[in-house]
Structure 1
């Protein structure tokens, strides 16, 4: 039954009477123009308006439109997962009903899957992507959620996107634990996949109806991230586990740098007779070199490790990031200790932690971006 259609477009709905007929028509028009044999599966969360009535009417006239009405365990992610199970094709596309996601891009997603991708993600944050008509508060919430998601999936620019396509085998049998609105995080964290592709798109705020975003969405999201992390650690496999192991290696290298720094500072000051500030400068630089070498070889395993020009480029970048981390550490120390009166050792510990996050994130996404 799974190969009756080329593509299944899953549209989760709740009170979408203003949009649902238009989005179904737009998707069917895309099917006609692209030659894709597609079905439209509307999964409704027991809408209180006329959404169900409208879809039933359309489904009665269209063989490729189906409706599932969910009576319990409500939620957008739960609706999408139910759609995965009911779809009658091996390529599954998720799209919002409110035209936030442009249906005209569906053929690009489908072709990327046919080209070998396991997951195709519509990204608002890669080059060519954008967001229109969003208030400042919602932008900040979205950026925060995206940044948090990229801790788990650093290569994905928009891991919380609701606009994506996936091969059926990625989610078939996967222990998805849907919660809230960020179903893509579940697919990335618990699905079986190797290759993902991102396609830029311009997110447009809903044309009709009311946004479903609520403050408790963030709570659900944080719980979801914690669940994905626990799953990755328990399974000891997958992209999240690999990223955590990379972070651990980065931390171990950082600790080795502390020992190098402290040991050299002591030797140069006590035995070589250098002024301690001069010793400190030398010790800091040697520890940076130590950290770079081990991170290049072990933490990030640069594929072009023997190419001298690229190694120098990475080292200069690492040096700059390390100096930035030092400034972050000192800034946090001063801010907490002098302005808020936090005990200086505790303030310094917080500064070290924030500087560590800074160093890892910038080096991961810039210094070694093309090498890992």
Structure 2
């Protein structure tokens, strides 16, 4: 009967002969120091160097080290998913072979899952996280991918991290469609999870070997994002669906605010006889109040409606963000219409869209950060 473990550390490899013995030794040392009964599962994509041979030698001397050699459908994400299925524990940790992910943090991930989190994510972009020794091009690509990923998962600061742990039930039987390098995106988009924690870490570029980043990596990533979005829409469930529901509601509330604004501007000017700029100021403010109330109740479903001070704080934040959006709208309109010569209605539409993205993004992350 196969032994069962507290934790499985899955290490996907391809041509990692310079690093593989050291990373296995480091992980086993962490197991020993932390009293974790763990296994090391190497999932290799038919390496052309001595990686397979080295792992076989180590596995022959260590019962907790196993090797899977994949002969077809190569790819990091595919390797990790195969590791999910072969693991002999209920907690699964994914880590790179090149020491870009610090193995000494493994016990923190393990404890986070043990204490109730479904997913524990290593973040380079939260306080305490960083990236060292990375060229500007890779920083820009990574940041761009992260920003795009946060459209789908706005509460996760590093949704494209390759350093994470997950409870087996999150991925067991989940319709994962792994491609490329961003396997965490698949887990977040298609896995069965409710809670996550993030653990800051400093990413260090590989010391030995060469990077596996290819020119088509971004294309695979964009296809993956589109697939996750389609999956969520078809299922009408999951965190991506919930987020897009909030975006649509936020947009509808914004449209209601336009109607309130226009209606009040007309009534106060034509009926009440106020100077149109005074009417406009009142109409803008009351449309902001309208938008706040509906977003608070309907879009984000704030649960502390009886706490007046929290509602006042949210309104103050919403007011400031709305004023910022107004400034952005006007600035874009001026720059495109007066400076770039774009037709003013098209320029105004661009300003509205950019201001909408500003309003939603800032309010989502600060005004209603945990709604």
TM bracket (short chain): over 0.9
C-alpha contact (below 8 Å) 1:3/1:90 kept by paired residues:
no
Return the offset for 1:149: 1.1
Match of 1:230 in 2: 230
TM-score by length of 1: 0.97
Aligned residue runs from structure 1 range 48-127, under 5 A: 48-127=48-127
Match of 1:159 in 2: 159
Q: What CA deviation, in whole Å up to 9, does each residue of 1:173-231 have, x standing for no partner?
A: 00000011110010011011111111111111111111122332111111111111111
Return the offset for 1:242: 0.8
Q: For 2:324 and 2:8, locate their aligned partners in 1 and report how far apart those are by CA, in whole Å.
A: 48
Q: For 2:179 and 2:267, locate their aligned partners in 1 and report how far apart those are by CA, in whole Å.
A: 56
Q: For 1:272 and 1:2, locate their aligned partners in 2 and report how far apart those are by CA, in whole Å.
A: 83
C-alpha contact (below 8 Å) 1:9/1:95 kept by paired residues:
yes
C-alpha contact (below 8 Å) 1:112/1:197 kept by paired residues:
yes
Does structure 1 residue 29 correspond to structure 2 residue 29? yes
Return the offset for 1:100: 0.7
Secondary structure, counterpart of 2:93 in structure 1: strand
C-alpha contact (below 8 Å) 1:262/1:283 kept by paired residues:
yes
Secondary structure, counterpart of 2:12 in structure 1: strand
Structure 2, gaps ≥5 residues long: none
Q: For 1:90 and 1:165, locate their aligned partners in 2 and report how far apart those are by CA, in whole Å.
A: 11
Return the offset for 1:60: 1.8
Aligned residue runs from structure 1 range 1-372, under 5 A: 4-370=4-370, 372=371
Aligned residues: 371
Return the offset for 1:2: 8.2
Secondary structure, counterpart of 2:212 in structure 1: coil
Q: What CA deviation, in whole Å up to 9, does each residue of 1:57-104 have, x standing for no partner?
A: 211222111111112111110110011111111111000001011111
Q: For 1:18 and 1:231, locate their aligned partners in 2 and report how far apart those are by CA, in whole Å.
A: 39
Secondary structure, counterpart of 1:174 in structure 2: coil
Return the offset for 1:3: 6.7
Q: For 1:337 and 1:65, locate their aligned partners in 2 and report how far apart those are by CA, in whole Å.
A: 64
Task: Report the more deviating stretch, 331-340 or 26-35.
Answer: 331-340
C-alpha contact (below 8 Å) 1:2/1:89 kept by paired residues:
no
Secondary structure, counterpart of 2:100 in structure 1: coil
Structure 1, gaps ≥5 residues long: none
TM-score by length of 2: 0.97
Question: Cα RMSD over matched residues?
Answer: 1.3
